[in-house]
Amino acid sequence: MSIATDPHAKFADYAHPERLVSTDWLAAHLGEPGLVVVESDEDILLYETGHIPGAVKIDWHTDLNDEVTRDYVDGAGFARLMSAKGIGRDTTVVLYGDKSNWWAAYALWVFTLFGHRDVRLLDGGRDKWIAEGRDLTREKPAPAPTDYPVVERDDAPIRAFLPDVLDHLGKPLIDVRSPEEYTGERTHMPAYPEEGALRGGHIPTAASVPWARAAAEDGTFRNRAELEAIYLDGAGLDEGDEVIAYCRIGERSSHTWFVLTHLLGFGNVRNYDGSWTEWGNAVRVPIAKGTERGGVPAVRVR
Amino acid sequence: MSTLPQALAGIVEDFAALEEAQRLELLLEFSDALPELPARLADHPELLEQVAECQSPIFLALEVDPEGERAVHLFFSAPPEAPTTRGFASVLHEGLDGVPAQAVLEVPDDMPNLLGLTRAITPLRMRGMSGMLARIKRQVREALAAGAA
């Protein structure tokens, strides 16, 4: 039994309005049985400084990533995590976080790898909730464990690996990093430390659409017409396109994956989570530098 | 840890005695306890140096006593939305404020790794704390050199 969706007028224009809730909706539904609110931030301590009452925390680094292999947790690990957070297979999960839901969207994408059906984002995230002067607490809930089933992760539909990206060249690619990272001027985000990619630039043919363009000043998603202007008119995507999005480690591109999949309704969007920290270090993969997208390499070199 | 000033060695011991989850709670306590900038610095942001190695905006300034042990006084500014960064700054503040310049310079560069947070906190953030320490030591050296001239 999932919880009723938010009938907010702005959401109705999106392809999948059931994937978003407003701060008003969440405030009205807090504490409802069958709903678990999850905060997911970049900073591992931000939740502890104050969070939405009743919300649990999921940390992208310690909870969702495998500790040894560069990969996500497996089905058993995800089931343990869900149980610990009081989430059942039928629970409605509302995710929110800092930085326009950048990390919350990443968590939502990982939930989708495990086929969790009803997972939504709080439009505007943590910042909007706080800006509206709503309640925060430092009190941590102690949820009763659930018997979440062990579901094998299904990567293929929404996750691309390096060989998939090589095969994809010629079809739309979206690079969601900053313009400086795209041109190759730098290999990390502005104001972020150097992160060890040996080469700068972008995957040939990728269009540059920095992820944050999808968010308005208050952190909410732009409306459908604005998003179409950015991704259809601007980046040249057409309805029905197969798309791969990438960034540095796959977090910012999860945000764009959410926008393309759930707000604009593209049915075949994959997130390349290896992203630039893999591509920019890989041997003999093609790279384009500068502001031009670059063409498809004539010869497969790898 | 003979090379750590007493206060900093005590903090490292406190962290080491805890489980990881409690270490994060302790770091939050440090974050909450970071002192505000004094007015003479708060009104003059140009006197603060940005720690570019950190993911979050953090600024630091320091003063070295002109004589005696040349004790170092540290000042940090970091927003509440960046509690991990504030926590690291606060550890350095509590561990090094008032410590003689020479003892600050002798703190090992990998001191942040002694806090036992390298599993929970991404390498990127750990490097941010190392960056803060490196900048503190550089500023201390500059202050000593300026004093000697």
Identify the band that residue B1 occupies on the pLDDT scale cut at 50, 70 and 90: very low
Which range among A54-68, A76-90, A203-217, B134-148 shows the weakest confidence by mean pLDDT? B134-148
Q: How far is B121 from chain A (nearest CA, A)?
A: 7
A44 → closest Cβ in B57, B84, B131: B84
- Closest of B23, B53, B59 to residue A44, by C-alpha: B23
Q: How far apart are the first and last CA of chain A?
A: 49
A45 in contact with B, Cβ within 8 Å: yes
pLDDT > 70 fraction of chain B, expressed in percent and rounded: 95
Q: What torsion, rounded to 10 degrees, do the Cα atoms A274, A278, A283, A284 define?
A: 60
- State the residue for tokens 């224009």: A13
pLDDT(A223) > 80: yes
Residue type for B37, please? L
Residue type for B67, please? E
Is residue A101 helix, strand or coil? Answer: helix
pLDDT tens digits, A226-250: 999 999 999 999 999 999 999 999 9
pLDDT > 90 fraction of chain A, expressed in percent and rounded: 88
Give the orientation angle of helix B20-33 with respect to helix B83-96, to 10 degrees: 80
A247 in active site: yes
CB–CB contact A48 B28 (8 Å): yes
What whole-number distance in Å separates Cα of residue A19 and Cα of residue B92? 43
A275 phi, psi to nearest 5 deg: 45, -155
pLDDT tens digits, A247-286: 999 999 999 999 999 999 999 999 999 999 999 999 999 9
Position A302 scores a pLDDT of 58
Q: How far is A47 from chain B (nearest CA, A)?
A: 9
Kindly give, in sequence order, each residue whose CB lies less than 8 Å from that of residue A60, ignoring residues fewer than 6 positions away. Answer: A40, A42, A103, A106, A107, A251
Other Cβ atoms less than 10 A from the Cβ of A135: the count is 11
Which range among A139-153, A257-271, A282-296, B32-46 shows the weakest confidence by mean pLDDT? B32-46
Position B123 scores a pLDDT of 80
What whole-number distance in Å separates Cα of residue A245 and Cα of residue A172? 9
Q: Is residue A98 a contact partner of residue A125, using CB atoms and an 8 Å limit?
A: yes
Position A69 scores a pLDDT of 95
Identify the band that residue A300 occupies on the pLDDT scale cut at 50, 70 and 90: low
Residue type for A130, please? I
How is residue A129 written in tokens?
């909730």
Q: Strand order in B72-77's β-sheet?
A: B49-50, B59-64, B72-77
Position A195 scores a pLDDT of 57
Which range among A133-137, A198-202, A254-258, A272-276 shows the weakest confidence by mean pLDDT? A198-202
CB < 8 Å to A142, chain B: none
What's the average model confidence in pLDDT over B93-102?
Answer: 97
Question: When comparing pLDDT for A282 and A194, which is higher?
Answer: A282
What whole-number distance in Å separates Cα of residue B91 and Cα of residue B29? 10
Is residue A57 helix, strand or coil? Answer: strand
Nearest CA in chain B to A62: B120
Question: When comparing pLDDT for B38 and A123, which is higher?
Answer: A123
What's the average model confidence in pLDDT over B43-71?
Answer: 85
Identify the band that residue A198 occupies on the pLDDT scale cut at 50, 70 and 90: confident
Kindly give, in sequence order, each residue whose CB lies less than 8 Å from that of residue A243, ignoring residues fewer than 6 positions away. Answer: A171, A172, A173, A174, A237, A260, A266, A268, A269, A270
Catalytic residue among A93, A237, A247, A264: A247
Q: Is the dihedral of CA A140, A141, A144, A145 positive or negative?
A: negative
Position A241 scores a pLDDT of 97
